[in-house]
Amino acid sequence: MTIALTFPGQGSQALGMGKALAENFSVAKRVFDEVDDALGQHLSRVMWEGPLEDLSLTVNTQPALMAVSLAVVRVLESEADLDIARDVAFVAGHSLGEYSALASARSLGVADTARLLRIRGEAMQQAVPVGEGAMAALLGLDFDDAAAIAAEAAQKDVCAAANDNGPGQVVISGHVAAVNRAIELAQARGAKRAILLPVSAPFHCPLMQPAADRMREALANVEVREPLVPVFANVLAAPISSPADIRDSLVAQVTGTVRWRESVVAMAAEGVDAFFELGTGKVLTGLAKRISSGARAISVGGPDDVEGFLAALTASR
């Protein structure tokens, strides 16, 4: 069995996430404490007690999801004898999950990752005035068709393919008027559904350029090390390892397409036949099953999942 570790992105958050890990494993509690200290905020309290509106703020959601993912990594290293350099072929994360992937592979420190994601969340939220941008899911169209619709709908505005999540599941992003035009075009051209998404900003499109500029500056001021294993970059759908490439990829990711479907296909072509999603939710687990037929896909998010991971890891050795 050849393993890839995957890490979820925004939308997977839920109240109480990570609490059972902290209560059952001291190594997990230390991750949440480190993130709280790095941010100067009791983020873990927001994660466990709410309110949900506060957890759903982009500036909180991004470091919170990373914290849970890294807590899972530390628990698996402690309790299941996971050695990423020995046991894992690749790591990859969806959007902000790419930061979690890099931290899991020791390319970024946990505290630096938390601070970067706080900056990223603030920058992405502030890049476009509220009400000017939108995102929509186009379901039932392949990526090329969805991207063509976005380009046609743009006219003098911005509209672009933001996420290529899986077969027939593409998200577009841009100015409100352009996204609405794209929805109409998609419906006329056979999309099963075309719906606006409840998001606070138009992520992963050229409107995010101010946020990309801010992330370039932020990333220049943190240590980025070569990861223990290659990281599949969202914007390249290919593995990278050099610190310079990692910095460039994370900057490009802010405005670029999250090429998740292609990344899973490419990892499978490299021999990966087991995708373990570490953190909150099961979104990437479901996508892996759809994208890579026959691959094993398992989510690990709480204490009850550790034994199953250990059994799978033992069987792979």
Whether residue 316 has pLDDT greater than 80: no
- Prediction pTM value: 0.95
Q: How far is CA 240 from CA 173, 232, 233, in A?
A: 26, 6, 7
Which residue in 183, 232, 174 sits closest to 203, CA to CA?
Answer: 174
Average pLDDT, the chain: 96
CA dist., res. 254 & res. 257, Å (int): 8
Rounded Cα distance between 119 and 125, Å, is 10
C-alpha–C-alpha distance, residues 44 and 272, integer Å = 34
Q: Considering the candidates 95, 100, 249, 292, report the single residue annotated as catalytic.
A: 95
Candidates 3.90.1150.10, 3.40.366.10, 1.10.540.10, 3.40.462.10; correct CATH number of 3-126+208-316?
Answer: 3.40.366.10
Residue 193 has what pLDDT? 95
Distance in angstroms (rounded) separating the CA atoms of residues 15 and 55:
8
Residue type, 206: P
Predicted confidence at residue 173, as pLDDT, reads 98
pLDDT digits (tens, 9 = 90+) for 272-300: 999 999 999 999 999 999 999 889 999 99
Judge whether 204 counts as a catalytic residue.
yes
Q: Which CATH superfamily is domain 133-199 in?
A: Malonyl-CoA ACP transacylase, ACP-binding (3.30.70.250)
Length in residues, the chain: 317
At residue 277, the pLDDT reads: 98
pLDDT of residue 310: 85
Gyration radius (Cα) of the chain, Å: 19
The conformation of residue 191, written as its DSSP 8-state character, comes to: -
Q: How far apart are CA 183 and CA 82, in angstroms?
A: 45
| Ranges of each domain in the chain | 3-126+208-316, 133-199
| Active-site annotation holder among 12, 104, 204, 299 | 204
- For residue 146, what pLDDT band results from cuts at 50, 70 and 90? very high
Nearest-angstrom CA–CA distance, 32 and 13: 15
pLDDT the model gives residue 200 = 83
The answer to whether residues 263 and 279 touch, using CB atoms and an 8 Å cutoff, is no
Reply yes or no on whether 175 is catalytic: no
